[in-house]
Amino acid sequence: MPPPPVANPALDLQLLMQDEQVMVAAKPAGMPTQPGVGHQRDTLMNALFAQDGRTLERLGHERDWGLLHRLDRETSGCVIVARTAAAYDGIRRQFERRTIDKSYLAIVHGRLPRKDGTCRQPLAETLRGGTKVSVIATAGEPAITHWTTLAAKGDHAVLSISIETGRLHQIRAHLAWLGAPVLGERVYRSLLPPNTSALRDKAVTLFLHAHSIAFDHPVSGERVTVTMPVPERFRERADACVGSGWSERTAAAPRR
């Protein structure tokens, strides 16, 4: 059985919400969510183990040390982590039933087919160049992404995005297929297969931010909504691309 993540107190991490059952962490862009090849001590979980390792270790590998979902390394935003087995199991069921509301903000480059809409293209995971990616596939898994344009200028737009499913790289793959990849995207390209060879290039910022997440508290049952303000680098680039008239406060709620 894999050992728990190594605590790394040198990592700076903010908690957006914490009680006896659950916490929501603010993951910075560029930080992997959990340890993997080449990243054993610099991840979100290494930082969380430095803050609350005894609690998370009790959950064990079978409950992924409390980690309930993941964000791509390049994506910033809210990540839910359980602090008890009951909380993990309860929130896990909410993910399975698709009652977790996840809202994202993205800066895109290109032209979307319309201002607001929904992409329902199925996605299938595949290995390309030794890297797992998602591709549009008729026989793939259901994937549903809603988008609303908050502001646009020329070939750039700031979008509010909500997803009903959580497929690998879902937002990135769908937006590229629609003709407007996320700004900073290296892998997913419009009308072209994923380019995993670009991952060998120097890392760049992906302007995708998991802005808020809402779930039913595993004990009280009350609806909890946690928001992480956009990073300053995101705001500055958005202002440069479309002007300062957009607002993260107008991020759309998921449509069912």
Residues serving a catalytic function are: 72
Burial bucket for residue 200 (CB in 10 Å: 0-12, 13-18, 19+):
exposed
Output the furthest CA–CA distance in the chain (Å, rounded): 52
Residue environment code for 60-84, b if the CB has 16+ CB neighbours within 10 A, otherwise e: eeebbbbbbbbbbbbbbbbbbbbbb
Yes or no: say if 46 and 8 are a contact pair by the CB < 8 Å rule.
yes
Buried b (16+ CB within 10 A) or exposed e, 112-134: beeeeeebebbbbeeeeeeeebb
Task: State how far the Cα of 182 lies from the Cα of 156, in Å rounded to an integer.
Answer: 10
